[in-house]
Amino acid sequence: MRQIILLIIIGMWAATSIAQNKVVAHADAAKTQISKHIYGHFAEHLGRVIYDGIYVGDDNTKIPNTDGVRNDVITALKDLNIPNLRWPGGCFADTYHWKEAIGPKGERIPIENLSWGNYREDNSFGTHEFLNLCELLGAEPYLAVNMNSGTVQEAVEWVQYVNHANGTSHLTDLREKNGRNKPWRVTYWGIGNESWDCGGHMTADYYVNLYKRYATAMTNYYNSEGLFRIAVGPGFPDYNWTETIMREIPDRRIEGLSIHHYAVNWEHRSSSYEFTDEEYFMIMEKAWFMEEFITKNDEVMNKYDPDKRVALIVDEWGGWYDPDPRGNGALYQQNTIRDAMIAGITLNIFNNHADRVRMANLAQTVNALQSVILTKDEKMILTPTYHVMEMYKVHQDAMLVPLEIKSKDFVQGDKKLQAVSVSASKDASGKMHISLTNIDNQTGQKVDISLNGFKAKNVSGRILTSQKVQDHNTFDNPAKVTPKKFDGAKIKGNSVMVNMPPISVVVLELAE
């Protein structure tokens, strides 16, 4: 009798701790391409991001490298199909003078990193090293122009130095002399960075006028084709800034508008790997704010650009916590399953807004903020965020499948958030991929996905999860959190039934 009662209690518990969610996938209405550039990265001269994390120099190092760049990092980034890399900052870009970091290494001008700790940099990693790295990775470079302490002339000359044909000027002669014969042809140019803050504390009106000078001079009537100019947008809900940009900059002078949003609690930044349930919920709230931030910016942009010609570029995003001193570098932090949750929901938000969001850059690639890679001397680990980016890469350049989503709530006290986030796409070979993230750290989720316009015969998948939301990989235990085969999805008629554990990211592949 006691056993029967126990079974009934377990049955009741199971029924209440597994929630029901409903998704309808309209595969027959897939019209928008998810730009691969949504899966881009950002590497700034900050702490151990560039020096040590990416670049170890070509002499006196035991770390295997190609032209000074760590081979392990190159391999890991290639495996992500890294589509683009933003550089040299961030706030660092707002004081960067590119000419100080070209030419023979011994003749480069050492500088003080004014944004991130006033330490000396020898400028051994400059324009050539960065653009050659992008070529090696097969990634598009995205250069951020110094609009704060720099000049219009400096920006114009940077464009000439990296993009113009041989023999055009003393700048292209100099490029040749420095060992690069053909131009790199850089498409993406950020005009300023956070101009409302470290980029000059400007007003929107002042920025717009300055932007027009840069955007006009960096291009001209003969070669403006092909340059993708990205204006600074807001980094907090200042929709008036967006309105000013969209109203004042003529159509022919802007291709993208950037926004920044971090999942951070500025009043109370806590540890990246030791945190409470309350702190976890608060960060999830901040991560979900991305949905509102994109939607509201898009609404403003629609007033002036209903055809969505100007792209929204989220060129800084990620979780931001207290620095972890063990990492020995500014903004170094650990990366747990909590970060995998941020990545899972944020990338789903970007996919679902693919008609407007056409590029994004996770901050930052190695050893700072929500990194995909952490390094310690010759060791390297891949973080839970890396694994989410790798699992989601199937969406790159695929066609977005519109979804209707009815999700259960993730509740804490009197607050609630959407527990399950989903996006889906159909790739060139006709396969459909569905990525799902369950941020609830107590409750598993049953998700019933009905398929319109897709007759699934086969489903397979991978899952990233762990026992505790604080779980992470370390240099001693680098594979604690890694993707595994997922057996929790079954086809039933025209639906796929998915059974997700708490704090999990699942990516399914469906074939007809």
Residue 193 CA to residue 14 CA, distance in Å, equals: 50
Binding-site size for ligand AHR (CB under 6 A) equals 10
- Amino acid identity of residue 92, one-letter, is F
Among 68, 89, 233, 256, binds ligand AHR (CB under 6 A): 89
| Residue whose CB is less far from ligand AHR, 112 or 176 | 112
Among 47, 90, 141, 461, binds ligand AHR (CB under 6 A): 90
Catalytic hit among 44, 194, 255, 390: 194
Ramachandran angles phi, psi of 232, nearest 5° = -75, 130
Q: How many CB atoms lie within 10 A of CB 409?
A: 14
- Amino acid identity of residue 353, one-letter, is H
Among the listed ranges 86-94, 350-358, 443-451, 478-486, the one in contact with ligand AHR (CB under 6 A) is 86-94
What contacts 105, CB < 8 A, 6 or more positions away?
122, 124
Q: How many CB atoms lie within 10 A of CB 269?
A: 14
Residues 355-374 within binding reach of ligand AHR (CB under 6 A): 363-364, 369
Report the nearest approach of ligand AHR to the CB of residue 52 (Å): 17
Catalytic hit among 44, 121, 255, 316: 316
Q: For residue 195, which of 185, 181, 205 has the smallest C-alpha distance? A: 205
Question: What is the four-CA torsion angle of 78, 79, 82, 86, rounded to 10 degrees?
Answer: -60
Q: Is 76 left (phi over 0), alpha (psi -120 to 50) or beta?
A: alpha
Report the nearest approach of ligand AHR to the CB of residue 364 (Å): 6
* DSSP-assigned beta bridge partners for residue 404: 24
Q: For residue 262, which of 367, 368, 139 has the smallest C-alpha distance? A: 368
Residue 261 CA to residue 350 CA, distance in Å, equals: 13
Residue 219 CA to residue 410 CA, distance in Å, equals: 49
Cβ 191 vs Cβ 180: under 8 Å: no
State yes or no: is 157 an active-site residue. Answer: no
Site string for ligand AHR, 430-449 (x = CB under 6 A): --------------------
Report the nearest approach of ligand AHR to the CB of residue 229 (Å): 18
Report the nearest approach of ligand AHR to the CB of residue 393 (Å): 23
Which pairs with CB-CB distance under 8 Å and at least 24 residues apart come from 243-247? 243/300, 243/303, 244/204, 244/205, 244/207, 244/208, 245/204, 245/207, 245/208, 245/211, 246/300, 246/301, 246/303, 246/304, 246/305, 246/310, 247/304
Residues 479-508 within binding reach of ligand AHR (CB under 6 A): none
Residue 194 CA to residue 373 CA, distance in Å, equals: 25
| Residue whose CB is less far from ligand AHR, 222 or 266 | 266
State yes or no: is 225 an active-site residue. Answer: no
Report the nearest approach of ligand AHR to the CB of residue 39 (Å): 18
Among the listed ranges 47-55, 57-65, 87-95, 347-355, the one in contact with ligand AHR (CB under 6 A) is 87-95
Report the nearest approach of ligand AHR to the CB of residue 412 (Å): 28
Among the listed ranges 85-93, 154-162, 271-279, 284-292, the one in contact with ligand AHR (CB under 6 A) is 85-93
Cβ 74 vs Cβ 66: under 8 Å: yes
| Residue whose CB is less far from ligand AHR, 89 or 483 | 89
The one-character DSSP state at 55 is: B
Site string for ligand AHR, 30-49 (x = CB under 6 A): --------------x-----
Among the listed ranges 83-91, 179-187, 249-257, 348-356, the one in contact with ligand AHR (CB under 6 A) is 83-91
Report the nearest approach of ligand AHR to the CB of residue 140 (Å): 20
Instruction: Verify binding: residue 113, ligand AHR, rule CB under 6 A.
Output: no
3-state secondary structure of 103: coil
Among 146, 148, 193, 371, binds ligand AHR (CB under 6 A): 193
Residue 439 CA to residue 505 CA, distance in Å, equals: 9
| Residue whose CB is less far from ligand AHR, 257 or 401 | 257
Report the nearest approach of ligand AHR to the CB of residue 60 (Å): 29
Residue nearest ligand AHR, CB atom distance: 90
| Residue whose CB is less far from ligand AHR, 192 or 461 | 192
Report the nearest approach of ligand AHR to the CB of residue 93 (Å): 8
Among the listed ranges 30-38, 71-79, 89-97, 225-233, the one in contact with ligand AHR (CB under 6 A) is 89-97
Instruction: Verify binding: residue 148, ligand AHR, rule CB under 6 A.
Output: no
Site string for ligand AHR, 297-336 (x = CB under 6 A): -------------------x--------------------
Report the nearest approach of ligand AHR to the CB of residue 91 (Å): 4
Residue 494 CA to residue 512 CA, distance in Å, equals: 11
* DSSP-assigned beta bridge partners for residue 190: 144, 230
Among 38, 54, 76, 91, binds ligand AHR (CB under 6 A): 91
- Amino acid identity of residue 367, one-letter, is N
| Residue whose CB is less far from ligand AHR, 193 or 441 | 193
Instruction: Verify binding: residue 194, ligand AHR, rule CB under 6 A.
Output: yes
String of DSSP letters for 367-386: SSSS-SEEEETTEEEE-HHH
Furthest CA-CA distance within the chain = 92
- Residues with a known catalytic role: 194, 316
Residues that bind ligand AHR (CB under 6 A): 44, 89-91, 193-194, 316, 363-364, 369
